[in-house]
Structure 1
Amino acid sequence: MTWYQKFKESVFFRKLFFLAFVTSLILFRTLLNRNLWMNPLSDVMGGWGIWETVNGEQKLTTECIENVIMMVPFSSVAMWTFGEKIGNSWKKILCNSGKIAFIFSISIEMLQLLLRLGTFQLSDIFYNTVGGVLGGLMYCVVMKARKRL
């Protein structure tokens, strides 16, 4: 009953709840729904392109695109939740959304390394950070359009 009252009364609580939901979806995809790997450092420099060579043939992979798309809603919801504390400057928003995505991505990759869930890849950190900046940019565009209406 307390949750329901808080959810009903506080806009910040609803935003924070939505941020926790998006974060849990990302953690489910990156950590909780993975198999154990014997060597998580086996492909540190892999995953930079959309084509990979497997047994001599080229295969299309969407990992880099998925990493970008995964972080866009996370960083835009984080900016939406803490927008009053960050400010309205697009430079601050993009910088903070990039920092948040970078730190969150490093945390995920370090947990994958320590728990041996998936592989540690530098490309994941890069693409997640790009997705975070794009999410901040999307937040800026939506807020500017909302002010004009």
Structure 2
Amino acid sequence: MGNRIFDILNKIVYNTLLALYQPFWAAIFLSFLFMFLYLYAKEHKWKKENIVYDIFSTWFSAFKLSQAFRKIFILAFYTALILLRTVLNRRIWEDPLGKIFGGWKLYENGQLTTEAIENFMLFVPFSILLLWTFQKELLGESKRIVLGKTVWQVTKIVAVFSLVIELAQLLFHLGTFQISDLTYNTLGGAVGGVLYYSGYRIIRGRRK
């Protein structure tokens, strides 16, 4: 009887802590964004009785008038999707180093897995959006862009971003640290850079 009660209590404590731990980093992320909103509201002296109206009014006004705002919003939205997929919405992993050299093939232990392709495809749009949003900052003011510089700049950023994700998975046991993930993510970023360059050249050619 005593062991049964102990097992029940252990399960209750475990499930409670797990329920708090799983959304922990998503909560940190949202809290961080909320504090930016708080500072902005305080700086512009928004009144608390009109704060909801002020939030939506300011946001829609900026979205309507500013192309840069729209670009950053789309990039932020896609980045949030990546973080939720890779870090913020993951279950606890007992052995994050268990597959450090795995994940290269489409078949693992006789089972079809598309994780490698998914990782590659996930970062192709990310690199395109990154270049679209911050082209001047990354490639300079010139309207003529160079393929090598375009690919190199975006590949560096994607590689660092991917490494941060992998280290976060390792540190917080939210997935497995895999060299293959880092490689496919970075490769996806490089291909995205090539696609952006190609699309940019086509659009520029049509405007002439």
1:118 aligns with 2:175: yes
Offset from partner CA, 1:39-79 (integer Å, 9 cap, x none): 111111010111111xxxx1111111001000001111001
Aligned residues: CA RMSD: 0.9
- Alignment-derived partner of residue 142 in structure 1: 199
- Identity among equivalent positions (%) equals 46
In 1, Cα distance between the equivalents of 2:138 and 2:188?
19
- Taking CA–CA contacts closer than 8 Å with sequence separation of 6 or more, which of the two structures ends up with the larger relative contact order? 1
1:96 alignment partner, one of 133, 149, 153: 153
1:67 aligns with 2:119: yes
**1:75-90 pair list within 5 angstroms:** 75-87=127-139, 88-90=145-147
In 2, Cα distance between the equivalents of 1:86 and 1:108?
22
2:83 alignment partner, one of 6, 9, 27: 27
1:3 CA drift (Å): 1.4
Q: Which AA in structure 1 matches 2:184? A: Y
Q: Which AA in structure 2 matches 1:42? A: G
Q: Which AA in structure 2 matches 1:140? A: Y
Q: Which AA in structure 2 matches 1:94? A: V
Stretches of structure 1 lacking an aligned partner (at least 5 in a row)? none
In 1, Cα distance between the equivalents of 2:202 and 2:127?
18
Stretches of structure 2 lacking an aligned partner (at least 5 in a row)? 1-56, 140-144
**By percentage of residues, which structure has more helix?**
2
Tell me the TM-score normalised to structure 1 length.
0.94
1:102 CA drift (Å): 0.2
- Aligned residue pairs, count: 145
For 1:128, what is the secondary structure of its paired residue?
A: helix
1:107 CA drift (Å): 0.6
Which one has the largest radius of gyration?
A: 2
